[in-house]
């Protein structure tokens, strides 16, 4: 299980409206998790952050941000974008579809997820924040006899 190194921490990476920024977000996330000794979270966190940032870039016209916070046994990943509209979680897309799976993946892999509006009606700082969480606390396996 992931090793959690004590004190809470938080990082925010602001990115331009550019699809190349998603890869920069993944690399930054990898550096942060490695620095904080959370290697077991690298793959699921990269997948979730990629989906959240891709949606923020694909479905809005402004900048975005990736926010990471670790506290109380959980890693929260979130993406802010400039569109205050709720994220759409589509029904299962056709197998050949090249889009429409992002939030379904987030729901499937994250321990929890949600969204909220940010500064509604306040110009350039308004929008929404879509977040998800992964547990970072070691889980004690149930070793009781069956």
Sole residue written with tokens 């891709």: 54
Confidence at residue 102, expressed as pLDDT on a 0 to 100 scale: 76
C-alpha span between 52 and 106 (Å, rounded): 8
Confidence at residue 87, expressed as pLDDT on a 0 to 100 scale: 87
Confidence at residue 108, expressed as pLDDT on a 0 to 100 scale: 87
Confidence at residue 7, expressed as pLDDT on a 0 to 100 scale: 87
What the block records as the tokens of 89 is 């979680």
DSSP state of 23: H
Q: Could you tell me the mean pLDDT of each successive run of 10 residues in the chain, 146 residues long?
A: 68 95 96 96 95 92 94 94 85 60 84 90 80 74 43
Q: What are phi and psi of 137, to 5 degrees?
A: -85, 140
Confidence at residue 144, expressed as pLDDT on a 0 to 100 scale: 43
What the block records as the tokens of 132 is 């998800």
Architecture of domain 9-135: 2-Layer Sandwich (3.30)
- Run of H or E residues at 11: strand 9-15
Domain boundaries defined on the chain: 9-135
Confidence at residue 94, expressed as pLDDT on a 0 to 100 scale: 56
Confidence at residue 95, expressed as pLDDT on a 0 to 100 scale: 59
Report pTM: 0.81
């Amino acid at each position: 299980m992931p090793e959690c190194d004590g004190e809470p921490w938080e990082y925010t990476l602001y990115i331009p409206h550019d699809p190349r920024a998603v890869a920069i977000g993944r690399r930054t996330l990898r550096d942060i998790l490695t620095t904080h000794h959370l290697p077991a979270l690298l793959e699921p966190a990269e997948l979730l952050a990629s989906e959240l940032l891709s949606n923020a870039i694909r479905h809005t016209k402004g900048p975005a941000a990736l926010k990471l916070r670790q506290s109380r046994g959980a890693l929260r990943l979130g993406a802010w974008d400039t569109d205050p509209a709720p994220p759409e979680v589509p029904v299962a897309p056709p197998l050949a579809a090249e889009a429409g799976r992002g939030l379904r993946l987030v729901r499937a892999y994250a321990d929890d997820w949600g969204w909220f509006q940010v500064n509604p009606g306040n110009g350039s700082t308004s929008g929404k924040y879509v977040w998800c969480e992964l547990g970072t606390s070691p889980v004690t396996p149930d070793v009781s006899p069956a």
